[in-house]
Amino acid sequence: MPHAPIYVVDGARTPFLKARNAPGPFSAADLAVQAGRELLLRQPFAPADLDEVIVGCAAPSADEVNIGRVIALRLGCGHRVPGWTVMRNCASGMQALDSAIANIHTGRSSLVLAGGVDALSRAPLLVSDEMTRWLASWAAARGAGDRFTALRRFPWRSIAPVIGLVKGLTDPVVGLSMGQTAENLATRFGISRQAMDEYAARSHARALAAREAAAREIAPLIDARGTLYPTDDGVRDDSTVERLGKLRPVFDKPWGNITAGNSSQVTDGAALLLLASEDAVKRWNLQPLGRIVDSQWAGLDPAQMGLGPVHATTSILQRHHLGLNDLDLWEINEAFAAQVLACLAAWNDTVYCREELGTEPWGVLDQARLNVEGGAIALGHPVGASGARIVLHLLQLLRERGLQRGMAAICIGGGQGGAMLLETETAQ
């Protein structure tokens, strides 16, 4: 059933800041508020004119659990504008957009601030169950004798913290980390270490070449000490194939091929977009970047989760009678080089397409159309924000290059994929 168009009016994101084994300078809400403030200051309406605020976040802190509401209030939307939070792992930001689309289509909303954020450097350190039980016994101790007995039973072997981020990036159903699922794909499609490192080096090179242009969508950050963070800080000019080839495997030691260099970076960042109905566009005389034409979610084996973009985008392509290269540009989030390369291989694999998609092979996607200004390997992957970032970035690229149509797609931990078909205003 066709729906009225959903317009992307404008968007902004923060610089993506690489986590460096310590809490970063900004909480997740800090990141989103700074991006949202600059975005809203450009608009002809007030924050209180929004119908709702929807934010995707995979790892909100304990004091920002419903971070969507926190952000809405801090942005000055007032008490009457509802704010809420969604979570679909790596696609949380894209899910926020899709939730906004659904509410606009039903008439509940006409003007929505939506997107995603994560401050992964602030993912919590946890204690083990054994340590938790000891703490409970300590709290229940009465008098010096009980406390002395509890101290004698202190569980020294369990004193090491449980790293929340590692647990969050491990699938509890199949027991594999996201990196191990990428190793699965590399094996399945015969993707070499050389091919992964070449792809990773290209991501950095493309991001470096586009650094000045990337400022179009970045709202610089300023911390409490007045330090300015103007741009993404994970992009490297020394990420050559030769240097990347010296890195050791991380997830499947010692024989694996997935390294820190050909994987996305652990990062803090936010990306927010303004979505509007046709009536809201007319009411406020807005000049949209483009439209979200269609969206799709798909599920697959969690052990093969990186192929989610193939499943989600194929349904959209079928609905709109499009081939891979009928689209002007593609953004596939770079969780791992092996994962993106596996998607390209799957579309061109007869057995995979027939058995998993129920179609004939789709052919070879022209990589000159794919992630043309680099991706998460170079920029970073703040889990909640990435799905929103690729939508904003793709619309900016299409508009600047005078192109019409593109696809943004993302793999999702747990064995899912998400995709959105986008058009600029020239594609009527």
Q: Which of 77, 204, 311, 381 is catalytic?
A: 381
**221: Cα separation from own chain's centroid:** 19
**Whether 165 contacts 121, CB under 8 Å:** no
Q: Which of 57, 77, 343, 411 is catalytic?
A: 411
Residue 90 known to be catalytic = yes
Helix (H, G, I), strand (E, B) or coil at 54: strand
Residue 393 known to be catalytic = no
Find where tokens 């006409």 sit: 110
Closest CA to 352 of 235, 166, 185, 119: 185
Q: Which ranges constitute the DSSP H helices of 348-410?
A: 350-352, 376-379, 383-400
Residue 381 known to be catalytic = yes
Closest CA to 104 of 26, 4, 175: 4
Instruction: Specify whether the backbone of 83 is left (phi greater than 0), alpha (psi in -120 to 50) or beta.
Output: beta
Q: Which of 57, 77, 90, 343 is catalytic?
A: 90
C-alpha span between 327 and 155 (Å, rounded) = 58
In order of 32, 79, 96, 176, the CA distances from 300 in angstroms are 31, 40, 21, 15
Determine the length of the chain: 428
User: Which residues are bridge partners to 13 per DSSP?
Assistant: 218, 271
C-alpha span between 251 and 258 (Å, rounded) = 7
Q: What is the DSSP string of 199-254?
A: HHHHHHHHHHHTHHHHGGGB--EE-TT--EE-S-S---S---HHHHTTSPPSSSTT
What residues are labeled active site?
90, 381, 411
